[in-house]
Structures are given as C-alpha cells and as structure tokens.
Chains A and B, each alone.
Chain A
Amino acid sequence: MKKELALFMLVITVMGVVASGCLSGQESTPTSTASGETSTPEKTTNVVIYGYGSEMITLDPSTEFSNSIVVLANVYECLVKYTPNGLEPWLATSWESNENGTVWTFHLRKGVKFHTGNTMTAEDVKWSIERTLRMGLGPAFIWDPIDKMEVVDDYTIKFYLKYPANLPLTASSAYGAYIMDSKYLSTIGDDNAIADWLNQGQDAGTGPYIMVKDKYDPKTEIVLKKFDDYWSGWSGDQFDIAVIKIVPDASLREQMVTSGEIQITRDLPLDDLPKLQENPSVKVDQTASYQELYAFFNTKKEPLNNKLVRQALSYAVPYKDIVDYVLHGYGEVAKGPIPKGMLGHFEDMDTYTYDIDKAKQLLAQAGYPDGGFKLVLTYTQGDQAEAKVAEIIKAEWKKLGVDVEIRPMNWEQQWALAKSDPSKAQDILMMYWWPTYPTPYDFLFNMFHCEPEVNFNLCYYCNDEFDKAIDEAATLEGINQDKAAQLYRKAEEILMEDAPAIFFYNPDDVYVYHKSITGFKDNPGYPQVVFFYDLHKV
C-alpha cells in the first residue's frame, strides 16, 4: 500500500512542479515573447469561424461531390460564378458561343496567381477538366458534352461540344469545375498521388484563402489563411484567417454563435429561430434554397400505376399547413418540380392544392370509392422534417380510407430497396433533390427521364413526350433561354397531369451570424458555402 501512496504523492508533486513551472516559465522561456502578446488574442489575430455540422470528406476538386465544397469554394475558383441574378465572371472574364451552342470560347482573367506562385493559363483549365473527366467519379458527368478542348493562347480556351449545352453554367458548377495548378500538380505523380497529396490538407488553387496543412484536421477544424497575392486584392477589414469548425450538435452551435465563440453557422433547430431573431447579438439570414422535398409514387405498382389515384393523393396534401408546421414558415410551398429563383420555375404554374373532396371524387372515379388500400412510405431515418411530413399525409390520407405504413430507413438502404424490383419496392419514397449546378435539366432528367436502369428516377416514370421536351430544352439553355423555358414549362405541365410525384416545399437556407461580422450573402448555387472573402469586421 505504501507504494501506491508514494506513487500518488509523486503524481501530486509532479503536478505541483508543473503548475509552478507554468507560473515562473512565462517570464523565462523563449516562447514567452509570443505568449506575452496573446493575452488579448482578438487584437493580434483576426479570425472568422464558421460552425459547421459535418466532417469533410475529400479535398480533391475533381472528385469531391459532397460537403467539402464548403472548403473548396474558398480555396479554388471556377471560370464562371453563378448568382441568382445571372452568371458573373470569375476566372474567365467573358465567353461566347457559336450560333447553335456547340463551340464555346472563354477568355481568361490575366494576372491570376495560384497559391504555388504560378500564373493561371488556359493550359490549367484544360488540364483540370481533363483530370476530372479521366477520374470519372462524382461530378465528372457535368463535362459530358465536351468533345475536345483547344488552347488558343495563354488566355483563351475553346470547347467543342458533342451536343449543344449551356457550358458557362456548367463551368460555374459548385462540384467538379474548380481550376487547379497543372504545372505544380503534374509534378506530383499520377491522379491518385495527386488526390493523396491534396487530402493531406494542401491545395493548388487561385482562391482568396489557402489551406493551412499542419492545421488540417477534417474531423475537428479546417484552417484557411488569406492569400496575399489574390487577384482581387484585400481591404483592411477582411479576415486573415478563416476556420471551419466541425460541431455536429445543432444546439451547441446555437450557443456558440450567440456567445460569439463562432461567428456564423447554419442548420440550427427551426423551432429556435424565432427566438434568435429577437436576440440582439446575432442576425438571421433567410434565403430561398434550390432544394425541394419530393415524394415519388411507385408508378409501376398497383394502385399507384393509376394516374387518377396519384392525382387524388396529390390533392389530399395540406401543402400550406406542412410549410407552417414543419418549416415554421422558413420555406415556401413548391410550385412544381423546380425551386424558386431558377430557370424553369413558374409562379403561375397550376399546381395541386389541398382539396379533399376532389381527392375523394377522383379516387371513386379510379374505382376506390372508400380507399381500402395500404401504401408503404419510406423516408430517410433521422430527418425530422421528412418524418413530420410523413405523419401529416398519413393522417390526411386516412380520411380517404388509405392506410400508410411509414418506414424510416437509412438512406443507402432506402435507395437500395428503391433500385431493386419496382414491383416489390416501396409505394412512396420521400427524398430531397438539389442540383449539381443550377439547371432545371438536372432535376427533371435525374428524377423523371426514362431510365433503362433505375438510378434516381424513383417513381419509375417514363414519358417520351416529356423526355423529348426536356432534352431539347437542355440544348437550348445556353443560346435561347426563352425557348428553353417554354419547353421546360411544357414538360412540367406533363408532370402535373401525370402526377408521378408530390412536390412539397422549398426550404429556406437559414444562416445565423454574430453581430461582429457583416457582408454575408447566401448563394444558393453553392450550397452550404460561406464565402469568407465577402465577410468583413463590423
């Protein structure tokens, strides 16, 4: 026993020595000059911290197709920047196409430096897109229209397309369209070696911020520091250091932003937002997102293969109540399949509204006067909003005599079931869609175009007239937007008539930021991204 006691005393003594070391060390150690200045950290370092809910996945701009664009969009840049008011120059200053949209010429910005010190040229653009295509993962499909690329001179690049496409919009994509330093990266090795190099927390971009490698920890925080040679320059009240801090717990993020421990965050509990709007130390920013919640009917299975039944059920959804109850008003009832603010969205679209009598009438017409059938509905486990919506429609459809079995599933499981045999799969599947880049074609093609093998057309819908309309619209999008919009409208009207899915709502993107920063602007084209360059100290 004596030994244990002695050991314990030893520990205590060591702690004591350490503690006294702390006190005396501050004057004598060489680090003291640095630590002396840091008693007031706010003054020496100006840092902005974005509290974010999930971890980073990959930092390879060619394959990243998830939430790491939160980092990438600050470190890299695309040729074109998407904004809700139209496309704006980014690394390209201007672009034009031939008459039918099959040859596009981009003129690049001069004097743009990579973080490596090299100057950006057309070769880098060609190399970056080629690498993305070669790796063929994640967002590589966005460049599918390209037949070949031609470097005209250092600051001009020409794209020859296999079919007409809106290439500037593609070039603004939040995924797969970032320009990398080809001279530097090609010395590292093959594509996988480059990916490894990037995933160590390094970058080869032109953006306003640089990754700080020795601080890179994708599970805890990602530290970015300002790039002094950034082509657009700096003003005094911007931030030298930007941090993306991973805080999965929403209520924790809420406490952190109200106390000023972090400066900006998102995805807070919707119930708390009214309270935060009253709080003088934070501001709540609310912008329409390009996300939409859908429920797909299984059009290959009784009784939902009957159009009248689908229409009846579409009428029996209390759209307005759902937005009020589920989103607490932070969103809008969907007007068709395309979210507000995008091409192909029509405010005057004749969509379904809540009308239970009409629903009963249609159901009787379909041969189910008292309902009497059961439907299996799947949604993604853990999504509170989807769960609430499912409960509401279950209650409503009960009035029609339709029984709904709600089945929460892990997304991968849910998707695997949906992709199996449609005649044995679920009856209704709930899912969100958001675009890879903001074109209505991304929505309509993925979810409603005929598919030889099921991928995301989870209503198993197939209508040649619809396919023809959207395929043609996509080719016109870059050269004749009015004509494209007309065709999209035609396609969406077909969807309204056939009712392969229910279009619920577009949730708002809600950011909450501390009063100590200003300049934040949500850009729905780059979901979840905070452009740190826009932020200023108050």
Chain B
Amino acid sequence: MRFREYIVYRLVLAVFVIIGVVTVVFFVSRVIPSDPAALWVGAHPTPEAIEKAREQLHLNDPVVKQFAYYLWSLLHGDLGVSIRTHNPVATDLKSAFTATFELILAAEFIAIVIAIPLGVYSAVKKDSWVDNFGRVFAISGVSLPAFWFGIVLQLIFFKHLGILPLAGRVDTVVMLEHPLHVITGFYLLDSLLTGNIPVFVDALKHLILPALTLAMYPIGLITRQVRSMMIEVLNENYIRTAWAYGLPSRKIYFKYALKNAIAPALITVGLSFAYTLVGAFLVELIFNWPGLGRYAAYAILSMDYPAVLGVTIITATAYVFINLIVDLIQVKLDPRIRL
C-alpha cells in the first residue's frame, strides 16, 4: 500500500472509531438515570422551569431522535451546550484543551531531555551507581502515583524553598498588569509572540512543577526502554568493530549505538503522550490547572452529558491521531516495517 493511501485509509478508520465512541458514550450517559433538566435550571427550581428546560433540551423526544440531533449538530462542528455552565461545549473545551496541551508538551519535553541521556548512561555504565539511580528513578516514576509527586514537589519548592508558585497557570496580579493578548491559547508562545516577558517568565514558573510531575511516568518508561535497547545494541558486532577502530566513545554511544536504539524509544515517547493525557487529569486537579481534566471531572460528577461527550470526542481524537503518527514514524525509522 502506498503511503498516502495508507493515511487516507487510517483516517477513514479513525472517523468510524470516533463515531463508535460517541455512540457508546451518548447512550450510556442517557441510560444512567438522571435529570439533565434539573441540572440545567439549578437549585430549587419550580416545576414550570423544569418543564421549560425539558423542552429546550429536547428531553421529551425519544433518545434516538436526540442522538440524531446531536450527530447533526456535531457534523456542523457544534458540540452542544453544557448543561452545567450553559456555555457552548466547544468554547469551554477550546481553552481547556490548549491549557492541557501546553502542559503535556512541556512534560514530554522534560521527559525526553532527562530520559534519553539517563537511559544511555545507564546502559553504558551498567550496574554502576548511575544505573542504579536510573533504575530507582524509573521504577518510582512509573509506580508512584502522580499526585504524590505533585504534593511533594509543592512542599519542597513552594512551602520550604519558596521559589516556585503553588498552583495555577499564571499569577493573577502579573496578568492584570501585563494583559496577555491570546493568539494560540498557549501562554508561553503567546507571551513570546507579543513580547510580553513578565507573563512568559511567570507562566514558565507555573509550568515547571506540574510538567515535572506529569513527566515522571514517561521518564521512567523511556529510560528503561532506551537502556535495554542500548545494552542490546552495544553487544552488536558493528559496535565492537567501531571500538576496534579506536573511534571516540562519545561518538560510538550517541551516534552509532543510539541511532539504532532510539527507534523503539520514539514509539514509547509517542504512546506516552496518550498516557500523559490521562495523567494530566489528576495533575491538573492538584495544581489547579484550568485544563481538560478539571473540566472532565466536573462534567462527569454533575452528569453534564454534552460536556462528557465533548471531552470524550477530543480525547478519542487525540488518541487516534497520536497512534497514527506513532505508526507513521515507526515506518519512517525502521525500513523493515512495511505498510
């Protein structure tokens, strides 16, 4: 199959996957006994207000018809209106999504910068203190819960050292004095584009702890992966040959060995994006990050089904696309894999 055809094929499949997810979530959320009209009108409503809301929300129609309504508006890019906030779900999700995505990107950046060198050194200096440290770090990164790390980091860097902020995305006072002109929704990027340095510095400070917390899991994963691949590769004949030629060790490790060891690790990086998306849900609550996680938690607890569906669609889409991209990278990196 040709490359372009393959992408089209995968994209068509993706649409079916997403429609499937939407269908399941829609019907599950409607089967659970709850009264969206009661949520729509708020506390202490009158029966008239409830009836009015039922009509407004099409709740008196059969579920299948409601589903048709939903799909129809979805085709027009309309995710419906949140029952809890009365805002269009798409608007709510847009800002939440960029906040979460900024966090995830930062976490992945930290993970790659730490994990790859750590993995290489662990393999090169097998069973040394570096390796042991790397092992403990990796295992704890994978097994200890993210919220625990988050709280420990808050205790150290906010409470005791007082050098990093406790929570939030940017300081209120800084934002008031240096209004940020939002272009992309990524605060770091926007503040750079508009030359708003105080906001950039402040947003960066706010980003460090949650991103580090979120990075712990991928760090563990990638370090172990790189280490085991490197050990395998370092036993290969061509590496022995390189040693025999007396090539500098740095060149052997980072150029010849890592090149072959990194392919599987890149897959792990790709997949860990999906993991961090889930991890972000917890980390956001601890660091009061106004992202998807907080939004989803609220939506689920209050059975705000258009919002739950919106989050589901976004997350499902992200998953599907990350998988696709990972598969494509794999093909590009490893000539043995055919489409």
When C-beta atoms are compared, the residue in chain A nearest to B37 turns out to be: A412
Q: Which of A84-92, A239-247, A481-489, A514-522 contacts B (4 or more CB under 8 A)?
A: A239-247
Q: Let me know if B173 and A252 touch, CB within 8 A.
A: no
Q: Report the interface size class on chain A.
A: 35 or more
Q: Let me know if B176 and A256 touch, CB within 8 A.
A: no
What CA separation (Å) do A58 and B40 show in the bound complex?
Answer: 11
Q: Let me know if B34 and A247 touch, CB within 8 A.
A: no
Q: Let me know if A453 and B47 touch, CB within 8 A.
A: yes
* Consensus secondary structure, chain A interface: mixed
Rounded to whole Å, the gap between the CB of B104 and the closest CB of chain A is 16
Q: B38 at interface (Cβ–Cβ under 8 A)?
A: yes
Q: Let me know if A255 and B166 touch, CB within 8 A.
A: yes
Q: B20 at interface (Cβ–Cβ under 8 A)?
A: no
What CA separation (Å) do A22 and B290 show in the bound complex?
Answer: 26
Q: Let me know if A256 and B166 touch, CB within 8 A.
A: yes
Among B47, B52, B95, B196, find the residue whose CB has the most chain A CB atoms closer than 10 A. Answer: B47
Contact pattern, B 156-182, Cβ under 8 Å of A = 1, otherwise 0: 001100000111110011111111000
Scan residues 122-174 of chain B and give those whose CB is less than 8 A from a CB of chain A: 154, 158-159, 165-169, 172-174
Q: Which of A43-51, A96-104, A323-331 contacts B (4 or more CB under 8 A)?
A: A43-51
Q: Let me know if B295 and A219 touch, CB within 8 A.
A: yes
In the complex, what residues of A have CB within 8 A of residue B177's CB? Answer: 34, 38, 41, 44-45
What CA separation (Å) do A249 and B288 show in the bound complex?
Answer: 7
In the complex, what residues of A have CB within 8 A of residue B277's CB? Answer: none
Scan residues 1-58 of chain A and give those whose CB is less than 8 A from a CB of chain B: 1, 18, 22, 25-26, 29, 31, 34-35, 38, 41-42, 44-45, 47, 49, 55-58
Q: Which of A134-142, A159-167, A177-185, A470-478 contacts B (4 or more CB under 8 A)?
A: A134-142
Q: Let me know if B44 and A436 touch, CB within 8 A.
A: yes
Contact pattern, A 403-422, Cβ under 8 Å of B = 1, otherwise 0: 00000001111011100000
Contact pattern, A 187-218, Cβ under 8 Å of B = 1, otherwise 0: 00000000000010000000000000011011
Whether A26 contacts B92 in the complex (CB less than 8 A), given A221-B172, A249-B286, comes out as no
Q: Which of A49, A55, A138 contacts B172 (CB 8 A)?
A: A49
Q: Let me know if B195 and A25 touch, CB within 8 A.
A: yes
Whether A218 contacts B87 in the complex (CB less than 8 A), given A66-B42, A136-B52, A413-B34, comes out as yes
What CA separation (Å) do A42 and B171 show in the bound complex?
Answer: 12
What CA separation (Å) do A199 and B42 show in the bound complex?
Answer: 17
In the complex, what residues of B have CB within 8 A of residue A410's CB? Answer: 34, 301-303
Q: Let me know if A220 and B173 touch, CB within 8 A.
A: no
In the complex, what residues of B have CB within 8 A of residue A455's CB? Answer: 46-47
What CA separation (Å) do A418 and B325 show in the bound complex?
Answer: 50
Q: Let me know if A219 and B196 touch, CB within 8 A.
A: no
Q: B39 at interface (Cβ–Cβ under 8 A)?
A: yes
In the complex, what residues of B have CB within 8 A of residue A391's CB? Answer: none
Whether A25 contacts B197 in the complex (CB less than 8 A), given A220-B290, A249-B286, comes out as yes
Q: Let me know if B197 and A35 touch, CB within 8 A.
A: yes
Q: B36 at interface (Cβ–Cβ under 8 A)?
A: yes
What CA separation (Å) do A535 and B173 show in the bound complex?
Answer: 18
What CA separation (Å) do A44 and B84 show in the bound complex?
Answer: 37
In the complex, what residues of B have CB within 8 A of residue A47's CB? Answer: 172-173, 176
Q: A93 at interface (Cβ–Cβ under 8 A)?
A: no
Q: Let me know if A137 and B34 touch, CB within 8 A.
A: no
Scan residues 261-298 of chain A and give those whose CB is less than 8 A from a CB of chain B: 261
Q: B48 at interface (Cβ–Cβ under 8 A)?
A: yes
Q: Which of A1, A55, A259 contacts B166 (CB 8 A)?
A: A259
Q: Let me know if B195 and A31 touch, CB within 8 A.
A: yes
In the complex, what residues of A have CB within 8 A of residue B165's CB? Answer: 261
Q: Which of B52, B158, B167 contacts A137 (CB 8 A)?
A: B52
In the complex, what residues of A have CB within 8 A of residue B48's CB? Answer: 136
Rounded to whole Å, the gap between the CB of B322 and the closest CB of chain A is 18
What CA separation (Å) do A319 and B314 show in the bound complex?
Answer: 49
What CA separation (Å) do A66 and B45 show in the bound complex?
Answer: 10
Q: B43 at interface (Cβ–Cβ under 8 A)?
A: yes
Q: Let me know if B41 and A138 touch, CB within 8 A.
A: yes
Q: Let me know if B45 and A45 touch, CB within 8 A.
A: no
Q: Which of B32, B33, B172, B298 contacts A243 (CB 8 A)?
A: B172
Q: Let me know if B167 and A252 touch, CB within 8 A.
A: yes
What CA separation (Å) do A417 and B34 show in the bound complex?
Answer: 9
In the complex, what residues of A have CB within 8 A of residue B87's CB? Answer: 199, 218
What CA separation (Å) do A129 and B172 show in the bound complex?
Answer: 36
When C-beta atoms are compared, the residue in chain A nearest to B287 turns out to be: A252
Q: A446 at interface (Cβ–Cβ under 8 A)?
A: yes
Q: Let me know if B178 and A34 touch, CB within 8 A.
A: yes
Scan residues 37-96 of chain B and give those whose CB is less than 8 A from a CB of chain A: 38-39, 41-49, 52, 84-87, 92, 95-96
Q: Let me know if B295 and A223 touch, CB within 8 A.
A: no
Q: Let me know if A65 and B44 touch, CB within 8 A.
A: yes
Q: Let me know if B44 and A35 touch, CB within 8 A.
A: no
When C-beta atoms are compared, the residue in chain A nearest to B39 turns out to be: A412
Among A138, A410, A412, A455, find the residue whose CB has the most chain B CB atoms closer than 10 A. Answer: A412
When C-beta atoms are compared, the residue in chain A nearest to B263 turns out to be: A1
Scan residues 284-326 of chain B and give those whose CB is less than 8 A from a CB of chain A: 285-286, 288, 290, 294-295, 298, 301-303
Whether A261 contacts B47 in the complex (CB less than 8 A), given A31-B178, A136-B52, A413-B33, comes out as no
List of 5 A-B pairs having minimum Cβ-Cβ separation, nearest first: A66-B42, A65-B42, A1-B259, A416-B35, A412-B35
Chosen A-B contacts, 14 in total, with CB atoms closer than 8 Å, are A25-B197, A44-B177, A47-B172, A55-B298, A65-B41, A65-B42, A219-B85, A223-B176, A247-B288, A248-B298, A255-B166, A259-B158, A416-B33, A436-B44
> Chain A residues in contact with chain B, CB under 8 A?
1, 18, 22, 25-26, 29, 31, 34-35, 38, 41-42, 44-45, 47, 49, 55-58, 65-66, 136-138, 140-141, 199, 214-215, 217-221, 223, 241, 243, 245-249, 252, 255-256, 259, 261, 382, 410-413, 415-417, 436, 446, 453, 455-456
